[in-house]
A = this chain, B = another copy of it.
Amino acid sequence: MKQFFSVADVIDLSGIVDEALRLKREPFAYSNLGKRKTLGLVFLNPSLRTRLSTHKAAANLGMDVMVMNMDKDGWALETRDGVAMDGTTVEHIREAAAVMGQYCDILGIRSFPKLVDQEEDYSEDLFGKFIRFCGVPVISLESATRHPLQSLTDLITIREHWKDDRKPKVVMAWAPHVKALPQAVPNSFAEWMCRAQAENILDFTIAHPAGYELSSVFTQGATVKYALDDALEGADFIYVKNWSSFKDYGKIHSVREQWMLDQGKLELTNQAKVMHCLPVRRDVELASEVLDGPQSLVIEEAGNRVWAAQVVLKRMLDELTTLNQL
């Protein structure tokens, strides 16, 4: 594996999930694979879960980790070519990426969208240039449009909690929030679930109010519902998530119906397990009674971030080792 940016970078969806679950059972089975290898984690935006879980995964594999927080003033990167850098940007991505590639064997980078210009965000310009110029394998720690470590985690968690023969019904349900959030997590979850549906692993439904349609790039094959109660019927897993409008880019539309998942709504489901990528706004996105109830998987889901990161790092290290031996 040379990059981990979207579900398209994974050849074997079931295979990677199984491998992650083996790592969960034996975290130190490959504790020498990463010896003398350095993972660099570049954060252009803040991170808690992603930083800790990826660090832990790297440590389990014997890697050394260096963290670069570049979310402060004075580290603005230039991404455009052909402009004289006489303004506020202090370094071009061409040099910044290439230099980090000199010090690290694998790089991870996080860069949120600005939510102002849809075309700019969805071009994934910064991410693409980072991959192009750094010269080493790159893991997305969440980009403008996707959060693949989260989505792989989510698939691992669903696999762990589903023992039935029939396919589970997975519902991603939009939820209210006080701020305008990116579409990265829902895009990515949709992309991974659509792939899983195409591979006959599960059935996937998206529920959201009108005006909150995601880009069709990510939702091929998904059933879309505009009424929450309708979508919840027969659900085995509910993935609760807020996002801002894609069409009316980055905006929040007022919504009249109740979209917050509470105990009453949960009872419409097939005793569904409840998931959320966290952080969650209690009693805004999701009712406390549900979060604290027996059907919530959110903490275990967060814990599974380690195994998603570890399987991706392991596959990249495997490939680096193979290359070195040639």
Contact = CB atoms under 8 A, between A and B. Distances in A.
Interface of A: 27-28, 31, 36, 38, 40, 46, 48-49, 51-53, 55-56, 59-60, 64, 66, 68, 70, 72, 74-75, 78, 81-87, 90-92, 94-96, 98-100, 102-104, 178, 278-284, 288, 291-292, 298-300, 302-303, 306
Nearest to A306: B103
A155 to B, nearest CB: 18
Contacts of A299: 95, 98-99, 102
A27 to B, nearest CB: 8
A66 B60 CA distance: 13
Nearest to A279: B91
B59 A288 contact: no
Copy total for this chain: 3
A181 to B, nearest CB: 11
Contacts of A278: 91, 95, 99
A284 B85 contact: yes
Nearest to A46: B74
B40 A52 contact: yes
30 contacts: A27-B36, A38-B56, A46-B74, A46-B75, A48-B68, A48-B75, A48-B96, A48-B99, A51-B68, A53-B103, A56-B103, A81-B288, A83-B282, A84-B282, A85-B282, A85-B283, A86-B281, A87-B178, A90-B279, A91-B279, A92-B280, A92-B282, A94-B291, A94-B292, A95-B291, A95-B299, A95-B302, A96-B279, A99-B278, A102-B300
